[in-house]
Chains A and B, each alone.
Chain A
């Protein structure tokens, strides 16, 4: 399943995800990549092991006298039903389907044949699906901070390398890159940025407020 993945989530980003300090949109990319990658599932569990050791060894605080009896008295209470997590559908793993609320993506044209579907915009970070026609570039863009791009279908190349299904590209603000989709099938990516993308060409910049990029 994950035999061909060669670009993974870096340990410090996995640690931030495990600790809950990673902004929401990046957490979505991490959860989606882990759903596709056995190696990073193990990396996440290793990070959680450190978290468990910290929990085990940190100074404890006395709990009030009645808390245990309260909890014990609730063990047989009926459990409120939880909605089942969304299931993988086509190229979209469970966490993406969850963000899509179980529905297919609603694409909006971005120019140059590229389409996007914004998924989440909480906490100053934005996640979106990008659909790039075969052989076409994503509009030239820079970003103010971290950008994670995970390939769900097809593949793309840019100045830093070649990315296929399951691969995640980690870009920081010093990278002004032009990802270009492989020929063949359209490339579908899940991308997260922690600030609005700045498109470098004139027209897309004008469109930014319209498309919420």
Chain B
């Protein structure tokens, strides 16, 4: 477990999540809950879950966030995209009654937390803000298609016609985070 990492300039969601990961901070979890639980509920209902089930899914997702916090890596994922991924897995579980095949994890659970590279974290946050601004500028119909795609309502061939967001810069930013992680894992394994 690392000491408190310097978080100047990070978004409050990232600060909460790092406090949860590194200090098991329940007050920070409370704030994260207040921010994401209503968003998750809205998202889950839009994605087709019966209302009665929606809060069960919210509960499961938030508990998973707490229990798997050690896997959160702000140099590779925003809090929102990490929670998005957990929510999609949980919904596939509940609705389709199947487990989505997952890629091999990069970081083994026993390898401990690594000091996040603050510059990398902030650069990824900036890229995400720009992506959000780009989405805000879309015409309503186009925006609706993007939402439907990421809510899981469109097939891959419908997505090909509907989207085509410019993700090049965000992808190369994440690639840098991955390369750094590979180096650190290699060093750890050689020690």
Q: What residues of chain A have their CB less than 8 Å away from a CB belonging to chain B?
A: 10-13, 15-16, 18-22, 24, 27-28, 30-32, 34-35, 38-39, 41-64, 67-68, 70-72, 74-75, 79, 85, 88, 93-95, 98-99, 122-123, 146
Contact = CB atoms under 8 A, between A and B. Distances in A.
Interface string B51-84: 0001100110011001100000000111111111
Nearest to B154: A21
A58 B43 contact: yes
B58 A67 contact: yes
A72 B153 contact: no
A72 B155 CA distance: 37
Given A60-B38, A68-B34, A75-B29, 12 more contacts: A11-B167, A12-B160, A19-B88, A19-B154, A20-B88, A32-B101, A38-B178, A45-B171, A94-B103, A94-B104, A95-B103, A122-B98
A20 B91 contact: yes
Interface of B: 26, 29-30, 33-34, 36-43, 45-46, 54-55, 58-59, 62-63, 66-67, 76-85, 87-89, 91-92, 96, 98, 100-106, 127-128, 131-132, 135-136, 146-147, 149-157, 159-160, 163-165, 167, 170-172, 174-175, 178-179, 182
A33 to B, nearest CB: 8
B47 to A, nearest CB: 9
Contacts of A64: 55
16 contacts: A12-B157, A20-B88, A20-B100, A24-B98, A31-B101, A31-B103, A38-B175, A41-B103, A48-B84, A53-B131, A55-B83, A94-B103, A94-B104, A98-B101, A99-B101, A123-B98
A72 B20 CA distance: 13
